[in-house]
Amino acid sequence: MANVAVVGAQWGDEGKGKIVDWLSERADVVVRFQGGHNAGHTLVIGNVEYRLSLLPSGVVRPGKLSIIGNGVVVDPWAFFREIETLAGKGVVITPETLQVADNAVLILPLHGELDRAREEARGAARLGTTGRGIGPAYEDKVARRALRVCDLAEPETLDRKIEELLRHHNALRLGFGMDLLTADALRAELAGVSERLLQFARPVWRTLDEARRAGRRILFEGAQAAMLDVDHGTYPYVTSSNTVAGQAATGSGLGPTAVGTVLGIAKAYTTRVGSGPFPTELTDATGERLGERGREFGTVTGRKRRCGWFDAVMVRQAMKVAGITGIALTKLDVLDGMPEIQVCTGYRLDGELIDHFPAGMGKQARCEPVYETLEGWTESTRGARSWAELPATAIKYVRRIEELVETPVQLLSTSPEREDTILMRDPFAD
């Protein structure tokens, strides 16, 4: 049986939470491999809604081992707040059910403060970050001055690392007119979480290797999406990590051969939160309708999402750079009742027809969508659980998307309820 990596195929918010939850029932281990607590996943199980930001979606399922991999940046305070929130809904999380990579980088309060100060200084040119410190934490990681989970267990080296970290951050804070930080103050903050966090710390690469050797099914859970990838996305309007399937291996400590099927999640239309290019964006009544019917507000930030038609050019590109082998198409029901539906099949850039999303920031902003118009459907698809329950024109729409993005649809979601899912091919069986 194949292990499965789940990645977003657009700009995030594609409904990964539901799909990962649906798959987690069939998995033994669920691993988050990148991002931080800026990644919102909403799960609906029965009548209970769970909103997760940092924790893997498997934590709400009894009998599953959940892992936060080394590719994730971990805010200890957010980590424990999320655990406490879930406890209030009856979900008990212990070091036996959740492990945190001992080599994962920590997000500290100073990271969030720097993140917000930079966004404020950018003014109208804001990137649209969540201000939670994810980017600055990744910066410290690649600059080799970050604090990691394992450092909390080594007081003899922690002091030296704190001093080095503050040399850099205090220089930045001085430039932004912020108060300078002291090593004593940071140590005091860490003292309040260190002992408790270390209870969850493990060399998770070894845990995962043992699980793989034992034939246990591993589900790799990505955050954000391919077009927010720091290399392959709409730079600089991207996240601070690699979001493609290759990161599932690097960010968990398993080799690439351990990642089998790569399932890309895509909405039946397109949304984006924050700034950046969006060729198919609709600022008219149709865009408003998509937003209202799809309840398009960010799980983490509550920000209203921008909405537009399905962009097959962008998704096809995501399929290739992210290594996606199958699609989970979500929110088909949001398109119910539309007499016509448009799909972007190309871009016009400075008078020339192109078939890909260019890398340049200026070119991306000048891309104009070229549409193909498809017949809509008046019947409801909401709650459909079999192919036979779908209107013929809805089936044609799904098939046309498969053709345009050159990837088969394996799962089709027709409502937020986890059981309202049509399975064409089991990703774990590939």
Supply 328's token pair.
Answer: 């989970």
First to last CA, the chain: 7
| Mutual angle of helices 392-405 and 312-321, in 10-degree steps | 50
Q: What's the confidence (pLDDT) of residue 38?
A: 79
- Beta bridge pairs of residue 411: 328, 423
Task: Find the helix packing angle between 155-176 and 183-191, rounded to 10°.
Answer: 120
Q: Where are the alpha helices (DSSP H) in 29-154?
A: 76-87, 109-122, 134-142
Beta carbons of 337 and 303 less than 8 angstroms apart = no
> What residues form DSSP beta bridges with 331?
none
For the chain, residues with pLDDT lower than 50 are none
pLDDT given for residue 58 in this prediction? 87
Q: Tokens at residue 330, please?
A: 């979500």
Task: Tell me how far apart the alpha carbons of residues 36 and 115 are, in angstroms, rounded to a whole number.
Answer: 14
DSSP 3-state of 378: coil
Q: What pLDDT is stored for residue 177 in this prediction?
A: 93
| Catalytic residue annotation | 13, 41
The residues that bridge with 74 in the sheet, in sequence order, are 106
Give phi and psi for 208, each to the nearest 5. Answer: -70, -35
Q: Residue 418 has what pLDDT?
A: 76
Task: Note the pLDDT of residue 255.
Answer: 87
**What pLDDT, on a 0 to 100 scale, did the predictor assign at position 300?**
58
Exposed / middle / buried, residue 298 (Cβ in 10 Å: 0-12, 13-18, 19+): middle
Whole-Å CA distances, 263 to 327, 338, 426: 6, 28, 10
Alpha carbon 57 to its chain's center: 12
Provide the 3-class DSSP secondary structure of residue 340: strand
- How much is the pTM? 0.92
Measure the CA–CA gap between 306 and 294, rounded to whole angstroms. 11
Describe the chain by its helix, strand, coil percentages, rounded to 5.
40, 20, 40
Question: How many Cβ atoms are within 10 Å of 112's Cβ, its own excluded?
Answer: 20
